[in-house]
Structure 1
Amino acid sequence: MTEPSIQKSELKKACKNCGAELKYRPGTTTITCEYCGNQEQIALETDPIKELPLRQFLQEKGAQANSEEISILHCKNCGANQHVEENYKSLHCVYCGTPLIREDAKTEQWILPGAVLPFQLTQQEAILRFKKWVNRLWWAPNDLKKATLDPQFTKGLYLPYWTFDAQLYGQYSGARGDYYYETQSYKDSKGRRRTRRVRKTRWIPISGNISGFVDDTLINASKQHTGKVPRGVALWNLKKLQPFESSFLAGFVTEKYTIPLKDGHLESQEEMRRIADTWARRDIGGDEQRVNTLNINLEEETFKHILLPVYISAYRYKGKEYSFFVNGENGSISGKRPYSFWKIFFAVLAGILLFGLVYLFSK
């Protein structure tokens, strides 16, 4: 009989002292037991992060070559697909707070991540940043400030992203605009003759070729009805990526991509076209540029499935869902916030009363 295969993303590591599950300690290369304090070093890969050939994986057989099964809890409210560790205490969606039933978990295939950017901030550090941010908000409800004190509202999540590399070649035609100035005479409002310099543009038809390597075009691989990560938070230093090791996921929620590789590739092509347009304008030079036609060709295309860290605090206020995000690597924070009607009402009322008192005393 053959031994059953071990799933790389499902591998649980137990504490040698007490048998409890070890969890990744952010900012380190260790996994730690919360019960007895035992620590173990994560065996880091020494080989460089692998880039996978795109064309092969766009075919069904190719995708299956580097895929495995993972248990997934699907949120019916916002559509997020979440892999939750077996002993994770909270069974609520990290995006919208909807209760998740462990028995509803399904086994699905996913392309194995090639790299992960481990959390650099602990949950306590993220909560502290969240609390300071909320305290600076004007007209924030008191319930929101209370929520910042409860760790159950803030969860660590690994977000799925695609990255695409390609050798880009392009041909363009357009025009280069160079500024020049002419002196014109005119009459002012009093009929006096004046002169002024007027800027004009001389356009010269131009065409050419561009080429270069496009590295790590980052494409979000997840789409939910709510909880979109703001741009200000979705900025990570990809130089800190580590070859995928399941130990970095221990104690955190991992989201499975909902945007398939094929759709992610189409979006990356649009981004690469924007990059090619920038290169063409740079090649044209001058003060202004026009790009009339642009044909690009992508060769040697590769991709990676990567996981990036973020802390999410899902909050419901008066029937509406709000999500706050803290970047798990650099600590940047952003989110939509509710407003307290009564705080605004009493502030306006106080302003009116103060104005009335000032008016009475002035009389």
Structure 2
Amino acid sequence: MTEEPSQTAQPRAATPPSLPAPPPLPQPAALPDPGALQDPAQLQRSEQTRTYPCPQCGANLTYDPGHDQLLCLSCGHAEVIAAPQGSVAKRDLGTAMRELAQRAAGDQGSLTREVVCQNCGGVTSFTGTLTATKCPYCATPIQRDDLQQAPQRLPIDGVLPFQIDERTARSNVEQWITGRWFAPREFKTYREVGTFTSIYLSYFAYDAQTVTDYTGQRGENYTVEVGEGNDRHTETRTNWWPVSGRVANDFRDVVEPANTGLDAKKLVALEPWPIPAARPYSAQYVAGHLSRTYDEDAQQRFENGARHQMDKEIQSTVRRDIGGDEQRVDQVRTTFQTLAFAQLLLPVWLLTVTYDGRPFQVFINGVTGEVQGRRPWSAVKITAAVVAAIIVVAIVLVLVKLAK
């Protein structure tokens, strides 16, 4: 069997075609000189948080989707993003996890924190893996500033900024909901009963180079004539030959969501993500939006997700290398020559509607506008449709009978 490596493989990582930029929000103020950019964040060192007050009116600056700027929705003042440029660097998975274990030894710091809002004095709670939220009393966006350097946590390496603004996201979800004919009427009034928010979710993106040795069998089909008389017919049979070989795979940007409590299948359906467009992490891209760090770490998501994606593609590569009409793969032994990762924040618009005591989530890809979600089914509408179908069939049968 051939010993030559096969072509590279890239599961669930194709980059979608670039989309036209969404229309800008009306009449932003003139941008400052890019040569004198500074991070406009206001740091609260005692609380280890940061906010983004507008220097013109004191309201809040938020990241403006589709534009490299922070925008004040109250007065239109804009600040150019002062963030590092370039591509996102990936780190060796084994080395990073060993270093994390060493740093975190004996450090049992809790993810849950209560902070005092420096704008109004109210207490804001960060629960679980939430890292950016809004004060429940004055709506000031607040970011935790401690987890990026926390010894027991992997830092965020990159961010894929929002490109779809709220107006476009709402239009997309409106079309999606309108097309759900059998959704209950109450579900379609999501504006009154649902919550709609922008959030950065945590993902891990993996690169790997693998070499796989295999043994198996190649099947070559042939046909024979069997039987006699009226029972004579053609049958397909297969000759099997033992084979062995070696294949190589080169994986790039195999992504895995790292947050729990969300509909994992629908999150996967939002793919593909344009991962090469991700930028080195800056908290400015998160300003005004919710954000979460990971619930499952890079090793867990590799073993429980990315490894399965890679194994599936390796099996396909082995079968192509075996060739023939049919293939049997008896044994594979894969060696990871390199395995690197990066933690990325990816943008999602999230609609949550509670119906009949159950939450239903609808996700909008914050870059491509792709909509995926679940909705309840209306028993009344389904029953009415079935009854209408029965009536139509009955009318057709009566007309056919009268025509005879």
Partner of 1:182: 224
Partner of 1:261: 298
Given candidates 14, 23, 26, the residue that maps to 2:53 is: 14
Partner of 1:201: 238
2:213 maps to 1:171: yes
Q: SS in structure 1 opposite 2:186?
A: helix
Quick one: structure 1 residues 250 and 205, their matched pair in 2 at CA, closer, same or farther if it must change by over 3 Å? same
Structure 1 unaligned regions, length at least 5: 92-101
CA contact (8 A) 2:348 2:366 kept: yes
| AA aligned opposite 1:318 | D
In terms of mean alpha carbon deviation, does 39-48 or 249-258 score higher? Answer: 39-48
Q: Among the aligned pairs, what percent are the same residue?
A: 26
CA contact (8 A) 1:72 1:83 kept: no
Cα separation, 2, equivalents of 1:338 and 1:10: 39
Q: SS in structure 2 opposite 1:334?
A: strand
Cα separation, 1, equivalents of 2:380 and 2:216: 58
Partner of 1:228: 264
Quick one: structure 1 residues 252 and 70, their matched pair in 2 at CA, closer, same or farther if it must change by over 3 Å? farther
Partner of 1:96: none
CA contact (8 A) 1:80 1:223 kept: no
Q: SS in structure 2 opposite 1:156?
A: strand
Return the offset for 1:15.
Answer: 2.2
Partner of 1:95: none
Quick one: structure 1 residues 205 and 20, their matched pair in 2 at CA, closer, same or farther if it must change by over 3 Å? same
2:196 maps to 1:154: yes
Cα separation, 1, equivalents of 2:273 and 2:54: 31
Q: SS in structure 2 opposite 1:289?
A: strand
Q: SS in structure 2 opposite 1:338?
A: coil
Quick one: structure 1 residues 206 and 317, their matched pair in 2 at CA, closer, same or farther if it must change by over 3 Å? same
Partner of 2:162: 119
Return the offset for 1:63.
Answer: 7.6
Return the offset for 1:88.
Answer: 7.3
Tell me the alpha carbon deviations over residues 32-74 of structure 1, each in whole angstroms, 9 at most, x when there is no partner: 0111101122134333311112222112447859xxx997579
Aligned residues: 333
Return the offset for 1:299.
Answer: 2.3
CA contact (8 A) 2:132 2:286 kept: no
Cα separation, 2, equivalents of 1:352 and 1:278: 47
| AA aligned opposite 2:164 | L
Return the offset for 1:209.
Answer: 1.4
Partner of 1:97: none
Cα separation, 1, equivalents of 2:256 and 2:388: 49
Return the offset for 1:272.
Answer: 2.6
CA contact (8 A) 2:111 2:129 kept: no
2:249 maps to 1:212: yes
Partner of 1:335: 373
Q: SS in structure 1 opposite 2:369?
A: coil
Structure 2 unaligned regions, length at least 5: 1-42, 115-126
Partner of 1:98: none
Quick one: structure 1 residues 71 and 118, their matched pair in 2 at CA, closer, same or farther if it must change by over 3 Å? farther
Return the offset for 1:175.
Answer: 1.0
Report the TM-score when normalising by structure 2.
0.71
Partner of 2:40: none
Given candidates 179, 183, 193, the residue that maps to 1:140 is: 183
Cα separation, 2, equivalents of 1:63 and 1:43: 33
